[in-house]
Amino acid sequence: MVEHDAKLLYYMKNILKGNQMAYDLEHRLVIGVASSAVFDLKESDEVFKSQGEEEYRRFQEAHLNQALPPGIAFPFIKRLLSLNDLSADPINDPLVEVVLLSRNDPDTGLRVMKTIEHYRLSMTRAIFMQGRSPYEYIPALNIALFLSANKADVDAAIKAGFPAGQVLNSRIVDDETDTSLRIAFDFDGVLADDASESVMQTSGLGEFHANEVKNVMQPHNPGPLKEFLVRMSKIQSEEEKYKIKHPGYENRLRISIVTARNAPSHERALTTLKSWGVMANDAFFLGGIEKGKVLKILKPHIFFDDQSRHLLGTSAVVPSVHIPFGIINNPSSKIVDPPAAPQANDSR
């Protein structure tokens, strides 16, 4: 009896201790995703648009146990979550946390949660807000990147100063025999702000290069995805630590910069990355060469760019995400960027 009471007291103390300790997101890479980014909602989206919310609700209930097909960002999210095996305690102390941010209500969102379980994605946290965008909760959850196919939600998030990208209707890259994760970024308007891009758009290429040479030792101000890159770089550091303890381990995470910059403007970009304490594995300074031709060989699992004219080509070969930031995406500016690749299904 005494032994039983002692065990009961021990467990009660630990339960109370656990309840008192909030789950810390500050030291993790946190990604927020709409279901439209990770899964193919074409069929259910068509029901919602053509027949309304009530029929959509009945449709989702009737197909509750039928998993949604993988969507554009599925390979990226799957591989990102797999990096949690680098942690000594992947369950209680993961390096990566992915949170579902959904316009569904909890009932219609149940199919999405069952789909997550079907694919064995370690995503357990979700926010459901019927018909409303949940992007306002990005800072509360310490989210470094929010992905959605809903253009309005992403535009609003960027306008509010949050890191967000619109997943475009793109070719999916997912060779299941390949366990690596390749991420590619444009530089200006994505990792860095648009100050230099503004010079380029208003004064031309010559003035742009002159500005970059003049300010070569002055790092750029951060753009929307700078913090995401920094947190990814920390995971690369964890890989190196893991490699020391596990000889023979081959690094899985690879980060590439694919930019229209070329010499002499390349040096300031590299100076900026160094000032942030990060280093890309690859850098492509293309100087006007079509990015899609390089990305077709590189095969990143996700590519981020702020310019729609680049994404028209890249979306045909790799999963592409539009970052609607800066002068090139400002409707009040005189710069007109052509429409991006077709949008993915986005109603939810």
CA distances from residue 28 to 45, 169, 228 in whole angstroms, order as listed? 33, 29, 11
Beta-carbon contacts of residue 156 (< 8 Å; ≥ 6 apart): 133, 135
Q: Is 186 assigned a catalytic role?
A: yes
Determine the Cα–Cα distance for residues 73 and 62; give it in Å rounded to an integer.
26
What residues form DSSP beta bridges with 302? 183
**Tokens representing 76?**
């990226």
What does the alpha-carbon distance between residue 236 and residue 280 come to, in Å, rounded to a whole number? 10
List the catalytic residue out of 45, 186, 305, 306.
186
What count of Cα atoms within 13 Å lies in the side-chain half-sphere of residue 258? 29
> In 3D, which of 147, 104, 94 has the Cα closest to residue 127?
104
| Neighbour tally for 53: CB within 10 Å | 14
Which residues are known catalytic residues? 186
